[in-house]
Amino acid sequence: MSPNQPLLPGSTLGVLGGGQLGRMFVHQAQAMGYFTAVLDADPDSPAGLVSHHHIQTGYEDPQGLAELARVADAVTTEFENVPAAALAALAAQRPVSPAASAVSVAQDRAREKAHFVACGVPCAPYAVIETAEQLAAVSPDLLPGILKTARMGYDGKGQVRVKTPAELAAAWDSVGQVPCVLEKMLPLQLECSVIVARGADGAMVHLPVQRNLHRDGILAVTEVYEGNLPPALAAQAVAAAKSVAEGLQYVGVLCVEFFVLQDGSLVVNEIAPRPHNSGHYSQNACDVSQFELQVRTMARLPLTQPRQHSPAVMLNLLGDLWFTQGDAAQIPPWTDVLALPGTHLHLYGKRDAKRGRKMGHLNITAATPEAARATALKAAALLGIDAF
């Protein structure tokens, strides 16, 4: 088959990683008539439980990778920390998107920052710290700052706030003196993100700019409607996200996260080489969701510009909601929540609720932004989520 020929329904699409993003990808692929294969070592992985094929091995297991290449016509990933070497090995036999080269940039904050600079996209002032000499040479202008491990950090993990050179040195010791990036702390007004999809032919589409609220380093609320950000700022974010994707020659769905500073300027924070929590609203508020875009990019189907038909709010549902009455898990009041108009519940099929664990999300759609927000606040109150 020609590498540019579309993979039509009836083909098998494979995904490395069995978490909730893989599960939602599998559901979307199946809805479009594809067979699916998941590689994940966990026998109870959310995606593995609903897929046609579940290959229960680690990401670097040669036999597992060979089996995935045998059953799948193309492969993607749902998790940025899948070893880039595994993607590269699969790419020798099957189309893989995103490519190992792009994922490896997203896996290393130092390379990620360098890529932003190369693309001309502004980011926070930073310094790479890999040696004691680099630590000693850090400019005082970067303090106070946030020390972030260069690899394996997400949802606020691997990050330490520091105010003085002594605190910086202690923080670097506390993370094991692994390679890190120190970012200057900037006066933030809000956070936002853009999801772009880029095809192998270079075609690119995007979802509307998402306004995000994080709590304890984890996305809590996303609000998407016309006017959620000033139009010029939204256009700047979209252009920057497309520049980042183009610079990587990216194929697939990419989320680019931004900070909006107190002065109204925009700086890029980080990228996620996959669908993203902040794009979940698209399942119910857009005519093409982020997961359909993922299917289309990997199957080399045409990309059409998604249209948002309803203002939307997304609430992240963490395992804490199961423990609002104490230490014994209680099922949240889904009946009361679903009695609210425009509520759409998405649970991830995880057997056990744990504090801090992503268990699902709630999308709220309405005819107006005000109505969506009002309903979302009612749902939050029912669930024990802090108002926003």
Residue 350 labelled as part of a binding site: no
Residue 246 labelled as part of a binding site: no
Residue 285 CB burial class (10 angstroms; 0-12, 13-18, ≥19): buried
Residue 157 labelled as part of a binding site: yes
Residue 59 labelled as part of a binding site: no
Tell me whether strands 35-39 and 12-16 are parallel, antiparallel or unpaired: parallel
- What is the rounded distance in angstroms from the CA atom of residue 380 to the CA atom of residue 364? 11
Residues in the chain: 388
Residue 185 labelled as part of a binding site: yes
Residue 159 labelled as part of a binding site: yes
Residue 86 CB burial class (10 angstroms; 0-12, 13-18, ≥19): buried
In contact, 317 and 293? CB cutoff 8 Å = no
Residue 384 labelled as part of a binding site: no
Q: Which residues contact 177 (CB under 8 A, 6 or more apart)?
A: none
Residue 156 labelled as part of a binding site: yes
Residue 378 labelled as part of a binding site: no
- Closest alpha carbon to 314 in 380, 270, 227, 383: 380
Residue 155 labelled as part of a binding site: yes
Residue 250 labelled as part of a binding site: no
Residue 252 labelled as part of a binding site: no
- What is the rounded distance in angstroms from the CA atom of residue 277 to the CA atom of residue 377? 19
Residue 269 labelled as part of a binding site: yes
- Closest alpha carbon to 97 in 296, 237, 280: 296
Sign, CA torsion 68/74/80/84: positive
- What is the rounded distance in angstroms from the CA atom of residue 69 to the CA atom of residue 87? 11
Residue 154 labelled as part of a binding site: yes
Binding positions for ATP: 109, 148, 153-159, 183-186, 191, 214, 269-270
Binding positions: 109, 148, 153-159, 183-186, 191, 214, 269-270
